[in-house]
Amino acid sequence: MAVQVHQVLPFLAYGDAIGNQVLEVRRLLREWGYSSEIFAENWDPRLTKECHSFEEYRHYGRRGNLVILHYSIGGEVNRWIASLPDRVVLYYHNITPARFFYWVNGHMARQCAEARRDLQALAGKMPAIAASPFNAAELTGLGFHVVGVAPYILNFEKLDAGLASPGAEEILRRFARPDLVQWLYVGRLVPNKCIEDVIKSFYYYHAWINPQSRLLLIGTGLGFEEYVEQLKRLTHRLKVEKAVEFAGHYGAADGLAAFYKLANLYVSMSEHEGFCIPLVEAMYYSLPVIAYASTGVPYTLDGAGVLVRQKEFPAIAEVAHEILTNETLRARLEHTQRARLDVFAPEVARAQFRACLEALGQP
């Protein structure tokens, strides 16, 4: 019988960091000769054929298996896992602190608080793999034995393929404006991402430096509609509502890469990131990056892009202007970002994941 390495998680989402990683890891495990399935408590209907209910795992469970628990918020899976006879390793993507959500989504805040509490209860009961050194440090502080860091296996080919999709054609038709300087943010519209600070920085650039500019916000605010409404009210108050586009959610297959291709600058003011994949995607498409130096962001950039350590919005606007008009600076940023990108090459990420399996004694 083939060695079995399965994955379990509370929710298999379509197009998010965890969901994409789970699918990539399964493909990799099967390529290496393991029998590998995905078990979830809940899943996006578009992924029905990709997973089984976690309750079905009773037909697979045995002592010789290795189960990878992708730890995230929600449900019973995080507690149910302790009842398995299999060896379990926790893969940690990070849990956003509840304080970011109390004021706008109490249910999400409670889920985050419970997940952080339950995570601490698992310390010492199973080894762990971290998606970044920032996550590894958090786990170590809780008392976990971290066998290694295995960053996301990023599928740049899938992003590139999306450029030939009808979605990409529609994006270019709607948003390509060579006469405008376009700032870009990609990710969920949720409070820890501090989209309001991106908008404030853009306001100073648009109002005082270059009115021929636009900010593209790509992502969903599902469950955080009140927060999105506050963002829209902010654009109205600052009189930039016509220059800020809430474009909605796009995945790789929907042509997401087209936004990276048509933008001039990527800006993140997030205050909590375990890793922040859009920073790497922006670097892949040679888009200069400005990012607030919080949590996992300094590791992901590590000398590439421009790290901002204080949120002085007029100064951020000036930095943006310098990047966009100084060809020597922009070329240097492109060079450092391209060099940093080598660290996240798919073959490097695969090797790091394999090293974690070997550290667990997996042949």
What are the tens digits of pLDDT across the range 27-38?
Answer: 999 999 999 999
What's the CA gap between 114 and 209, in Å, rounded?
A: 45
The confidence score (pLDDT) of residue 357 equals 94
What are the tens digits of pLDDT across the range 123-174?
Answer: 999 999 999 999 999 999 999 999 999 999 998 999 999 999 999 999 999 9
The confidence score (pLDDT) of residue 77 equals 87
In the three-class reduction of DSSP (H, G, I as helix; E, B as strand; rest coil), residue 212 is classed as: coil
**Cα within 13 Å of Cα(144), Cβ side:** 26
The confidence score (pLDDT) of residue 41 equals 93
Q: Could you tell me the domains of the chain?
A: 5-150 (3.40.50.2000), 156-343 (3.40.50.2000)
The confidence score (pLDDT) of residue 362 equals 73
What are the tens digits of pLDDT across the range 248-296?
Answer: 999 899 999 999 999 999 999 999 999 999 999 999 999 999 999 999 9
Pairing between β-strand 38-43 and β-strand 181-186 as defined by DSSP bridges: unpaired
Nearest Cα neighbor of 84 from 23, 145, 12, 7 is 7
The confidence score (pLDDT) of residue 76 equals 85
The confidence score (pLDDT) of residue 363 equals 64
> In the predicted model, is pLDDT for residue 212 greater than 70?
yes
**What b-and-e string marks burial along 256-273, b requiring 16 or more CB atoms within 10 Å of the CB?**
bbbbbebbbbbbbbbbbb
Instruction: Find the range with the poorest average confidence among 62-76, 145-159, 168-182, 216-230.
Output: 62-76
Q: Determine the average pLDDT of the residues in 99-108.
A: 94
Cβ-based neighbours of 97, under 8 Å, separated by 6 or more: 112, 116, 192, 272
Q: Determine the average pLDDT of the residues in 341-350.
A: 94
Q: Determine the average pLDDT of the residues in 302-322.
A: 97
The number of residues in the chain equals: 363
Say which residue the tokens 């240097």 belong to. 332
Q: Determine the average pLDDT of the residues in 17-28.
A: 94
Instruction: Find the range with the poorest average confidence among 301-305, 346-350, 358-362.
Output: 358-362
